[in-house]
Structures are given as C-alpha cells and as structure tokens.
Amino acid sequence: MWNFPLLPDQASTHATQVDRLGIALLGLSLMFAIPVCFLIVFFSIKYRRGSPADRSNPPNNILVLEWAWMILPLILALGIFTWAALLFFDLSRPPANALNIDVVAKQWMWKVQHAEGRAEINELHVPIGRPIKLTMTSQDVIHDFSVPAFRVKHDVLPNRYTTLWFQPTKTGTFHLFCMEYCGTDHSIMGGDVVVMSATDFEQWLNMGTLNASEAAAGQRLFRQYGCSGCHGPSAAVHAPSLAGLYGKSVPLSDGSFVLADAQYIHDSIYLPNKQIAAGYPAIMPSFKGQLSEDQVLQLVEYIKSLANSDTMGQQP
C-alpha cells in the first residue's frame, strides 16, 4: 500500500497552524519561482542565436513598476514575519492551566516525571484535549525534544529549564525524537508519546508501582540532605524560609530582585553563590554532584507545594 505521507499526522492544536504557515511560505515561494523558471525558458528560446527577435533595447523607465516591486515584497515579508512571530509567541507561552510534566534528558534517554509520582523512560503519556507543559533540563549535553506530529521542538539545555507546550487533539502513539546531535547514540534517543483519553490517563497514572508524588519525594530529599536543618521552622542557622517562596519576588544582596521560579530554586541548589538573598550570609554549600537533575526537580515541586502553606515540613 502507498503510505508515504508528505507531512506527519496533525495531532495537536499547533499542528494545523504551523502547517498553514508552511504551506503559505511554500505557495509564496512558488509564486515567485514559477514565473522566473518560465521566463528563463521563454527568453532562451526567443533570444536564441540567430533568431530574428528585436534586440534594440529601447530605454524604459516605469516608475510605478519599480515602486511596486519594492513595496509589495516588503508588505509580504512583514506579513509573514508578523504571522510567524505571533505563532512563536503562542508556542513559547504555556497557558496557566497547563498540566506540568518534568523531563530530564541524559545521554541517551528521556526521563519523564509526573507530579503524581509516575516516572517513565523514553515514553510520555498525556491526556487528550488538555494543554501540557513540559519543564525540561539536561543532565549532560544539549539535547532537543521534538514531536513532529505536534509540530513542536525545543532545545533541552544543561543547567537551564526550558519549557514547551502542546495540546493533543488525537489519541494514539506518536514519535518522539532528540533533534540535537548529542553523541554516539543520538540516533536512538527517542521514544513514543502516548495520547490517551482523560479517564484512561487517570487509570494509567495509578497503575504499576506507585511512587510518592514528586513533591513528597522532594520533601524526603529536603530532610535527607539536611536542607531542613537550615531552612526548617526551628532551624538554628539563619536561612531564608521557603514557605510561600515560589512565585514571589525575592530581594537580593546586590539590591536587585529575582522571581522565585523553578530556575531560581534550581540555581540556589546548584550555584548558591550566584544569587544571595538580601540579609543572609552566603554560607549555603552547592549540591551539584550530590543531587541529580530529577532530584532537583522534585525539590522544586516540594517548594512549589509550600507556596500556599505557612507551615514547613508538613505533608504536601
């Protein structure tokens, strides 16, 4: 059977929008390329050697034509730019109600952590019809998370959180690729995204060995690595309290402010001297090498879960 589709499945809300832009660009290129090809052939026949065509080259200066070929392409180019930029903005701004899933890339696999506790490798299960936001980072080199059927891709960088969002519109299994050359086994660093109905997804989340939720796992690490010794409510050491921290603006010792987002928490754990909270001594040790990126993401989830509580150390 003939099965060689020109484009992958359109399985997310972005897919049709991105395809429309692609087809418009293709159409526009053809609009200019076809007349050029046609004229090349036409003129080479008309002005071939020995033909009786008129070669007198009379002077002509059509001002309207000259203005038109400057203004029209300008309008077309700016139109395409605006269209693509709007699409790009939409792709870079996950909706506030999106379901967050953490992704850690390492040579050569994708590790996925769901907030409820399920973890998976080289697979990503998501519910249909709901915006999904991926918070991604790399344990080693630069990778790139890409799902062609959703028309989304984004670099995954060490020491930085990047996000990507999509809303699946079709159930089924779709290919997931690493799109950045990352070493020997780059070509097999991929997997499947499985889009399920909302009820199937709920069931799937509660299947198999049940891990603690990410926040609960983070809370355990918080005790295990002695974070609570300084940041806990009854700690002897003077360290900033983390309750209600997430999403707030934090004053720093150099007089500037920083938003306490996932990146700030990540950096405070790995590079504690990068941003010192105002009024506190720079005594926190770095946990780089002791905590893996997935563990840092669990701590981030734990600190997020403290956002609305005044009491530290209680069950999230």
Residue numbers of the site for ligand CUA (CB under 6 A)?
Answer: 105, 108, 143, 178, 180-182, 186, 189
Query: Least CB distance from residue 105 to ligand CUA, whole Å?
Result: 6
Q: How far is the CB of 112 from ligand CUA (least distance, A)?
A: 14
Per DSSP, helices labelled H in the chain are 13-46, 63-92, 198-205, 214-224, 227-231, 262-270, 293-305
Closer residue to ligand CUA (CB): 158 or 240: 158
Structure tokens at 78: 């700016």
Q: What is the smallest separation between the CB atom of 190 and ligand CUA, expressed in angstroms?
A: 9
Least distance (Å) between residue 31 CB and ligand CUA:
37
Output the six-digit token pair for 11.
Answer: 């399985």
Closer residue to ligand CUA, CB minimum distance, 108 or 246: 108
Q: 288 and 270 in contact (C-beta within 8 Å)?
A: yes
Compare residues 125 and 186 and give the one whose CB is closer to ligand CUA: 186
Q: Which is nearer to ligand CUA, 193 or 196 (CB)?
A: 193
Q: Which is nearer to ligand CUA, 143 or 151 (CB)?
A: 143
**Distance of closest approach, residue 145 Cβ to ligand CUA, in angstroms:** 9
Asked if 189 and 178 count as a contact pair (C-beta separation under 8 A), the reply is yes
CA-nearest of 307, 314, 313 to 235 is: 313
> What six digits make up the tokens of 4?
């060689």
DSSP output for 130-176: S-EEEEEEESSS-EEEEEGGGTEEEEE-BT--EEEEE-B-S-EEEEE
